[in-house]
Amino acid sequence: MSKISTSLGEINYNYRKSINSQPTIIFIPGFGGDSTYFNFKTIIDKLPGTYGFMAIDTIGTGESISATMERSSNNILKNIMDVVNYEQIENKITVVGHSLGGSYAMILANNYPTKINSLLLIEPSYSEIREAILSEGGEFQSPELIESAKKAGNIKIADFLKVVNPNNDETEKQKNAEIFFNAYGNPMIYQENNLIENLLDDLKNVEENLSKSRLKISVVTSKGRRDEYLHSKFRLYAKVFSIGDGHYLHWSHPDFIVKKIIELQ
């Protein structure tokens, strides 16, 4: 794992440089606090060896919880671009975003159109399902309640073994569960949840811009949500693919996800 110090604080990340001008794949996870690397490790391990990858724990998540920042979309994306610029990535970049990470991926591509070449969005959050997203966010507990539950032993590291990437080996799952446990209830993540409404406001304009761009965009959804995405605005500017069930398709169907990443190059 690498780390850099930035104006917003210290950022930890995993990075592999691409070979022979092959693309670099940047991964953005959904809402939560586990390790980005472990979350996407199944995909990373299946990428062609010449591809580069970057898995960044933005400040407040994963192993980047020692620093403190407002987890606004601007700051989260600045974390990502600080690392991209530090590593001097000049080749093609594909951003893979899952769930809320798909929203950040779209905003990143909109804000840095000369840097991002394509997007692979796995069941991304989008402005047309605003009410459903805000309803989910309303169920998120405060940091005080979560910290109290941890001290009382009502929330344990073992609980997080059930919600981390099941494809990793036991040592990796245990380490990621510990990372997730430590990040869970972090006030910055609670703050991010409270700022989701602002994110959705920004996203509406971003989606309009992306519909007019030449950016290559693919959306992967479960079969149960296929019609939802096909009837959304994604149909105007993205290819929509469906496979399997469940929300974590990069865990259940990694070969399919890797195939779609390669097709975008």
* pTM for this entry: 0.95
> 54-68, pLDDT tens digit by residue?
999 999 999 999 889
The predicted pLDDT at position 137 comes to 64
The predicted pLDDT at position 141 comes to 76
Rg for the chain, CA atoms, rounded: 17
For residue 93, the one-letter residue type is I
Domain range spanning residue 119?
Answer: 2-263
The predicted pLDDT at position 44 comes to 98
Count the Cβ atoms, other than its own, within 10 Å of residue 131. 9
> 104-115, pLDDT tens digit by residue?
999 999 999 889
Q: Where are the alpha helices (DSSP H) in 112-168?
A: 130-137, 143-151, 157-160
Q: What is the DSSP string of 17-72?
A: --STT--EEEEE--SS-S-HHHHHHHHHHHS-TT-EEEEEE-TTSTT--SS-----
**CB-CB contact of 220 with 96 (8 Å):** no
Task: Classify residue 168 by its DSSP letter.
Answer: S
HSE (side-chain half, CA atoms, 13 Å) at 215: 35
**CB-CB contact of 17 with 52 (8 Å):** yes
Structural domain total, the chain: 1
The predicted pLDDT at position 135 comes to 82
* Cα–Cα separations (whole angstroms), residue 74 to 79, 81, 107: 9, 10, 9
Bridge partners, 219 (sequence order): 121, 240
**CB-CB contact of 208 with 194 (8 Å):** no
CATH code of residue 22: 3.40.50.1820
The predicted pLDDT at position 142 comes to 84
Of 245, 233, 239, the closest CA to residue 259 belongs to 239
Cα angle for residues 221, 247, 229 (degrees, 5° grid): 30
Q: Which residues of the chain have pLDDT under 50?
A: none
